[in-house]
Amino acid sequence: MKSKTSSQSFLRAIIVIFVVEVLVLIYRSFTYLSKYRCYNFSLYLQDDQPTNIFDTYRNMTKKSYSALRKIKHDFPTYSDSAGIGFFFDQSISIGEAIICIFLLSCFVYFCYNRKGCCSSFFYIIAPIICLCSSIGTIIQNINIVPQEDIDKEILDDYLKNYLNKLYYGKKKKLIICAITVIVSIIVQIVLLIMHIRSNSRNDNNKPDTVKEFVSPTEDNNNDYKVLV
């Protein structure tokens, strides 16, 4: 009975972690797409626009110019033919979250129902896909242009606020989300192993033979024959 209770506790913990993973994956996707909600600021970083930071501050140092050019690549470059590229970028971000959530759902389902023939497949493929996705997010956002590289004269309140929110803040959130998913996956795998072992002990503790069922009527008839 104690082993069965432990198995159920492991399963509940796996489900709770799954809920956390789903929320983090959704939040990560929306955080990544936040760069598309700053149209005017994106244009401000493009040197081919009528009003841009490079024309406004023509006397900026080469270090500052290089830093802003690198930051610019993290924001959409709007042009007449840019719609298709943006559509694919946003679709991939949303699709990645949906695929990870689907695989994790299958992972949790087969933790609950071990009789499925595909359980081993999802035990392996779901963590691998989610880990690769999170590691890719970290690699993509680990390189950050130091704010110190930008001239103080250029770093006014407008630029500073948007960079803190949509560049430095966004990258930090994406990395935290990725690390959270990685840790959750590792904990989930450990819980899965403990859950499987607990169920194996339950199966081994079951009796090999089942006592034959005797109906009350048959039992009474046997007692009557003995008395006669």
Kindly give, in sequence order, each residue whose CB lies less than 8 Å from that of residue 31, ignoring residues fewer than 6 positions away: 170, 173, 174, 177
State what percent of residues in the chain have pLDDT above 90: 42
Q: What is the pTM of this model?
A: 0.81
* Helices and strands (H and E) in the chain: how many: 9, 0
State the amino acid at position 189 in one-letter form. I
Q: For residue 226, is pLDDT > 50?
A: no
CA-to-CA dists, residue 159 to 22, 40, 55, 148, 178, angstroms = 33, 12, 15, 13, 27
Distance between CA 68 and CA 156 in Å, rounded?
14
Question: What would the mean pLDDT of 36-64 be, rounded to a whole number?
Answer: 86
- 99 Cβ contact partners less than 8 Å away, ≥ 6 residues apart: 129
What average pLDDT does this structure show over 30-55?
87
Residues 98 and 28: beta-carbon distance below 8 Å: no
CB-based contacts of 225, cutoff 8 Å, min separation 6: none
Tens-digit pLDDT profile for residues 108-165: 888 887 666 677 888 889 999 999 999 999 999 999 999 999 988 888 888 999 999 9
Amino acid letter, residue 71: I
Distance CA 113, CA 17 (A): 18
Q: How far is CA 177 from the centre of its chain?
A: 7
Give the closest residue to 52 by CA, choosing from 34, 63, 36, 68: 68
Tokens of 7: 């198995």
- Dist. CA 210–CA 206, nearest whole Å: 10
The mean-pLDDT minimum among 29-33, 51-55, 186-190, 205-209 falls in 205-209
Domain boundaries, the chain: 2-227
Polymer length of the chain: 228
Smallest CA-to-CA distance from 13 within 226, 219, 198 is with: 198
Residue 32: which pLDDT band, with cuts at 50, 70 and 90?
A: very high
Rounded Cα distance, 130 and 98, in Å: 11
